[in-house]
Structure 1
Amino acid sequence: MAPAPRAALVAALTLLTLTAAPQAVADDGPSAPPGTVSTSPPPSVDPTSPGLKLADGATLAPAKVLDIKSVVEDLGGEERREDTNESVTFALQAEVLFPKDSAKLNPQARSRIDAIAEEIEKQNATSVRVFGFTDDLGSYAHGLVLSRQRAEAVHDRLASTLGGNVTFEVRGYSEDYPIADNSTKEGRRKNRRVEVSFPRGDLSS
């Protein structure tokens, strides 16, 4: 087989560099907001294809990939699963995992975290984010400590189940990135959560 042209080889190496999975980073470094993902490049479309049936003088808009999202809430909103083309995210309310103002896991929390570990294995994910969040009651500094400790507790359980083949990023965000209105009791309850997210695997192979 003839060697690949230099331009094609450089392009392939550049693509590999851009799409490589990020390594875990220190907690004091910058981090993308939770749920941030990069999508695949848009498909190429032949604007001269007769099957498009464009009107005279019409042109195609630039192609783009639409990120399909599915959100499912279970147990009255205590558990939330969000699926996109690129990733899976589980959000568990703090009340179902921990006693009030505590980072010690409830006994019943372990089975829920183990179910997430099973999904991580199913998706063949080797990179997992575990992020903790609080509501806006109390001080921001206290929220940072508590949200980080809760994320670490969930991480410890996941790590003990998954073994050493998974890289974790563990962070506490206090009241940042709320998913509901902090002015209501129900909204604050949803914002007190731990999110576990990981890339979606290729399940066809």
Structure 2
Amino acid sequence: MRKVTIAELKSMAEQARQSIWDAAGSYDRVPKIYLHWSAGHYGQFFSDYHVNIDADGSIYVSTDDLSEVKNHTWKRNTGAIGVALACGVGSGSQSLGNEPPTAAQIEAMAQVVCALADGLWLTISKECVLTHGEAANNEDGETGYHNPYAWWNDSYGDGDTRGDLEYLGTDESPSYNPDATDGSRGGDIIRGKANWYRQQEDNK
């Protein structure tokens, strides 16, 4: 793992942009940024994700080439970047466990999303930026790769479901509610923050 700055991460995304767009285009889709928690401990990083974010908000990459295909989001890995918060051991729909997402991690993830989206020329919308739970539920409208396997929509009936970052345990996103339409779902919060960071750049 290599520690990087937001500026370095944006530069890496710019360098990988064409390769990522070409790879995504081979599946007739746009590039995606998928947001995860690792379900591990603070300080514990995994090479399945291109970007790992520690409890203090520090950012680490597992590769020097963001177009490298990694195994982070089932049947959606080509032309995509996986970003994970190093947290969430023991987390589930009822509790985020003893190592929940920290405020520093959430803010860093929003900045990472902004940097990657800027580098890849992507909108910061659910079409391009999804939590693993949202992707598992096909909430970008891409239904040709798998049936839903979200915590709240286990179409396979095997219990092998995902709900990463569906809620954050913060005042803005206090509890599990996948039916929420008030912007309190974890993905809505992170995309909103990322768009705020993008707006600050535009105002410079």
Q: Per residue, is there more strand in 1 or in 2? A: 1
Tell me the TM-score normalized by structure 1. 0.31
Rg: which structure is higher? 1
